[in-house]
A and B are shown apart, each in its own frame.
Chain A
Amino acid sequence: MPVEIPKDKWTGKVREVSFGATAADGGTRSKSIVVGGDTTLPYMQFEAPTPHTPVIAVEIKSRRPEDWSTLLEETWGDAMNDPASWAKAAEAAGADALVLWLTLADTPEDAVKATKAVLAASALPLMVFGPGQVEKDNELLVAVSEAAKGEKLVLGICEDKNYRTIVATAMANGHLVSARTPMDVNLAKQLNILITDMGLPANRIIMDPTTGALGYGIEYGYSVMERLRLASLQGDGMTQFPMMVTVGFEAWKAKESKVGTGVPEAWGDWKARAIHWETLTTTALLESGASIVVLRHPESMKRIRAAINELMAA
């Protein structure tokens, strides 16, 4: 007996957002990346095709991080010593885009230097995030934004306590912003309204609804993402933004991935576990609607690439 699969029809659509400017658009990137445009729940290909393949971005730092897992240090090796060589290594490992995360120790000159070095070393579209302290973020990102005018960077991180300066500089220099809120649909929507109220076109916002790693609140993260996607499809204009999540940052904070000693033997091989942690966290969030996932380990990238290929082919 033929079974008819019921199909949902939605009225709303996630906005298409593109970042990274090629020479034709006045930048130096090898390609632009487009995300969003979804008209149904993630990977319901029988209802509507997923318009754009999800993006794997790799997190690199402006200075060699002191607190990263030795597993990550082993795999990236000396490339971690400077952002240009790290960017090259990340591109070689298969990244679609790069996230340059600045640190508190950086001066505006350091931030500009690191950004320019990364832009020169790799032609992938770039996001640049501040260290997460209001004054420092503003100081560094304004300098970076001006120095990389026209590259269509994604500048982050806008939060409800600090978005005006970053949005203003993004508007002035042709960049996008990442709008981050702490796992709350109401706050996510509120920040989108506040940012668009300033005059930044809505197709230059990517929202980061924040997540927790597997075992550390991921269910709150994906519930919020699911709710936001449903609201988008139902026509709520101030939720219709593609979503990014900084999975590597979250997954490598978890004890399960960060450390190999002082944990029960039954947990098994450390490296295998750590990669699983990042990979499983990522796949769950892709299926809840993430368009951009920011990862740390090359092996996780490979596995996520394979998962994305299957999801897109289904």
Chain B
Amino acid sequence: MYIIGENIHIISEKVKEALTARDSEFFMDLAVRQVEAGASAVDINMGPRKKDWAEVFPWIVKAVEQVVDVPLCIDTTNVDGMEAALQNITKAQPILNSTSAEPERLEKIPLLAKKYGAKVIALTMGSSGIPVEADARVNIAVETLIPRALEVGMPVQDLIIDPLVLTTSGCQQYCPHLIGAVQMLQYAWDPAPMISVGLSNVSNAVPNENRPLINRVYLSMLMGVGLQMMIANPFDQKQNDVIRWIENKDTSNPLAAVYNKIAERTGANEEPQPEDFDMSDPEQLAIWKTTQILLNKVIYADAYLNQ
């Protein structure tokens, strides 16, 4: 699993404080620790920085590149800021996060990627929003995103399609379709573009204590249909366990076997079945309940595990 570490994100209070104080040590430490925990790239989300982008973007990439060699993923809606970052990156091939199929972004971002030899994450979202159905999302990739990359002369392999994970709390009907989209995108073009998702979006607006479980179960389903790249928290040890168990087909303990079974079922276009779980084990019961909300079989509620 290629993890783009998500922890340098302006939504975090600590990140906000460190940025205000221009505390480069904080960012260097957070970047190093993410890579040590298994991140293959590091996302950098400083927000749009409308006023100070010319100073902030070069500063942050220079700081982080002092200590890590992995690709940096420049996560902003500010195109000028993106370019300022690109001009200062000297190590690995960077990733731009992101464009969508909206005309204005699709016009500018791929050109920037071409100019600097960067990869681009492209969201399957047009001006009219995010479609529910899997094939509608795949259509955006095939009819709009990939043609635009080819048009500007980018190799398709530098395009990373993100079919958009939405939260089970409120957008539940999207969750099963996203699994289908990940599956279909792998056959949508030859050569296939890469596919990445923002995993933890699946548990946005979910109480914190339940988020990691929902993330893990969804991850096992997505790995079942071949997901190999995601923006995620590399410090989540239980999530890393799931990745390891599924990648190595390790079924040596009951939980590993359950997560592998979910991946296997999902990959075979089947749904997890009650007999796959030892319902007397509270942890497995919770995993079963989580599969049911993620597949939109049972309506999500914050207290869904109590049902």
Q: Which residues of A come within 8 Å of B, CB atoms? A: 184-187, 189-190, 192-194, 197, 227-228, 231, 234, 236-239
Contacts and interface: CB of A to CB of B under 8 A. Distances in A.
Contacts of B77: none
A248 to B, nearest CB: 28
Interface residues of B, number: 13
Contacts of A234: 297
Contact of A193 (B169, B172, B306): B306
B297 A238 contact: no
B298 interface: yes
Nearest to B170: A186
Contact of A186 (B297, B301, B307): B301
B299 A193 contact: no
B21 interface: no
A197 B299 contact: no
A190 B298 CA distance: 12
A186 B169 contact: yes
Nearest to B305: A193
Contacts of A237: 307
A185 B299 contact: yes
Contact of B307 (A185, A193, A228): A193
Instruction: Tell me what chain A mostly uses at the interface: helix, strand, loop, or mixed.
Output: helix
A180 B302 CA distance: 16
Contacts of B301: 186-187, 189-190, 192-193, 238
B277 interface: no
Nearest to A236: B298
B166 to A, nearest CB: 13
A186 B175 CA distance: 15
Contact of B303 (A184, A197, A228, A236): A197
B206 to A, nearest CB: 10
11 contacts: A186-B169, A186-B302, A189-B304, A190-B302, A190-B303, A192-B301, A193-B304, A193-B306, A231-B299, A236-B298, A237-B307
A220 to B, nearest CB: 13
B207 to A, nearest CB: 10
Contacts of B298: 231, 236
A46 to B, nearest CB: 27
A181 to B, nearest CB: 10
A231 B300 CA distance: 11
B208 to A, nearest CB: 16
Nearest to B172: A186
Interface in B143-199: 169-170, 172
Contacts of A184: 170
B299 A236 contact: yes
B297 A193 contact: no
B299 A239 contact: yes
B259 to A, nearest CB: 25
Interface in B269-307: 297-304, 306-307
A309 B43 CA distance: 63
Given A189-B299, A190-B301, A190-B303, 18 more contacts: A184-B170, A185-B299, A186-B169, A186-B170, A186-B300, A186-B301, A186-B302, A189-B304, A193-B301, A193-B306, A193-B307, A197-B303, A197-B306, A231-B299, A237-B307, A238-B299, A238-B307, A239-B299
Contacts of A192: 301
10 closest A-B pairs by CB = A190-B301, A189-B301, A193-B303, A231-B299, A189-B299, A236-B298, A238-B307, A190-B302, A186-B300, A185-B299
A145 B266 CA distance: 51
A194 B303 CA distance: 8
A239 B172 CA distance: 16
Contacts of B170: 184, 186
A8 B170 CA distance: 27
Interface string B60-86: 000000000000000000000000000
A184 B301 CA distance: 10
A163 B169 CA distance: 22
Nearest to B306: A193
A104 to B, nearest CB: 31
B298 to A, nearest CB: 5
Nearest to A197: B306
Which of A184, A187, A193, A227 lies at the interface centre, i.e. has the most chain B CB atoms within 10 A of its CB?
A: A193
B122 to A, nearest CB: 30
Nearest to A194: B303
